[in-house]
Structure 1
């Protein structure tokens, strides 16, 4: 069995325009009548919602650092029934975990190699012409085994600029799949964690339609379709990750939305009921839920609203008296005693943990995490090793509770972000991706 043919959209670095290219391409191919399966390489939990809006089909993360081969196979199998796969890379094409004797583990290039997807390299050619070909050729030759479809030249200033840049690509023997003129409106709004969430975009449908029209005008869609390919699927796990409970009350709104799609798909596939509720709308979790799960998000932007959400906080506290509650990153912060916003104002949170966090005292925390549980948490027993990802700017002011886990970065260095537990309540700063053996 093989996957549908696919491509991976990548770039030399972040900020080159690959996300807008990705969204425009997804929509343009869907408009052509194709069933398009999107994926995201790496641990990004924001982009898949944009992909879904563009393609009309759920997008999933593929992460070769955090996921074992069976789980990667199970997630790749979500593409069955699609006509074409389009995956978006993270950061630069070869950026990943560096270990002695090992380069790019968890990189977009590794995903493309595993799946057999040729790479479309999006190049920002602003400020250069023929020299862009040297950059592209370096990426093409860095790993000769990596399938390479060609390049899309972005932010081209003029017909002369295009002509000179194409000359360089022709000399290097690199196919040019499209040339995008410079346009200042082809950007997505951003904030401190990257893009704003899809649900927050003021007019996402109009933006995506505009990207698609722009791509259709300046990219050779037929050449892109012809370049798509894939390798053998190989064996897959019979199931995605199992649910941590049967009835799961899941916080879902602009403050809590960062859950990896493969987890939710696995929970549903195993028959679990997911009961969404909105803390920002002052909704309490379902009173008959077995578990309340607070995902990451942006509680620091809504701290005053959350502090005043009496029905939500009362329902959460009542649940925690007898049944488990778990929060990760933003959800973990909301379970604590207090959250200090960027202006230095302290807001009372749920008080189910002693944690106090501050967005005023910003500290950048980014990277893969491997956690060894010191106690049970929903879905996992003490001693289990988990893999996840941490990405936030908030710092810990107080953390008086018992640690939940020993937490290490991708290179094995142990860190202070241990998570915590109290009674039926647990929380972590890392976003769960998979059990380490999955």
Structure 2
């Protein structure tokens, strides 16, 4: 008879693993170069667990002098974790770090309790939150790539239509060779479907680039307030809660700012420290919207004690997805949540170019932000001369709406105009002209 512990957790009717009694553990290496304090990292781990409604009964920092290849923790620490979990009647231990497949299996055997690491937890959150077809494909592919070396349960959950992706439960270790074949086949199908989706997204992006509207992308650490700001500017109702990864699927809306009839604004998935490489790769097509933006708004929670470290994580992730931080789209930092700062701290915020301080909740500073965005989009304006047939009312009207008309003179059937345009608008006008001539 098998002595393998039953690591399945009770799920709701749609397969979600809400409510599991959980012990959160942060392994703190003595030589860690992480700029965040262990307490701040543990708080984030608890928030991640709360994002899928796990019942966190305790959270602890475990100091590690030297990581053990077999279990990460020392033998005495493993015994202490087992006793602590039994005391709490916990069904699950979340280790806020990276566990190798061997370490995960050994810890489960030693404690008799289901173990997941930070990557597995984040993937589970994404599995719960992805709402669009593309998002679900991306999350499932990331999950399968993560699980490729963790074949400790069968893959029958691949047929599940809703709910999580199997991190917190499973029927046990069976049919390993069949699992590997099913895994390879499913991953190949997912990659093909995502390639088709990416082609469609590219066509849509090309169509938007031909439209006479600049694109502004919101990026930032998860829970920095991007969606709240997006809703305030666009009048949309994107999910915006005090919750990590409240928004996964990108959303686009047109907004009005001074000097522009329309600006396309894109709300993107939040970043986080140690974002699983599988997710960075899987969401690359979605995040390519950022690469094509005319301006990037980096929304920061300036009230958070680790705001600087969070900003460094965002810039690191932007570089990973291919954003050239030196010569790519310009980046404007939006220092959000000033309403959570004391009057003294607000007064001490440095006055420097490159950021705007706001509260997306109260609206403080948002008008200054829109004016700054307008100035950034128009900052390199120069004058151009065009000769346009008087019958081409569309292009003449576009120049009137998007440029600063300096002079216009009728010469027979041609209108000569001198107009001041930004380089962004000049490029869009050139594409309009090319399309009209085609």
Which of structures 1 and 2 has the larger relative contact order (alpha carbons within 8 angstroms, sep 6+)?
1
The normalised TM-score by structure 2 is 0.29
Larger Rg: 2
- Higher normalized strand content (fraction of residues): 1
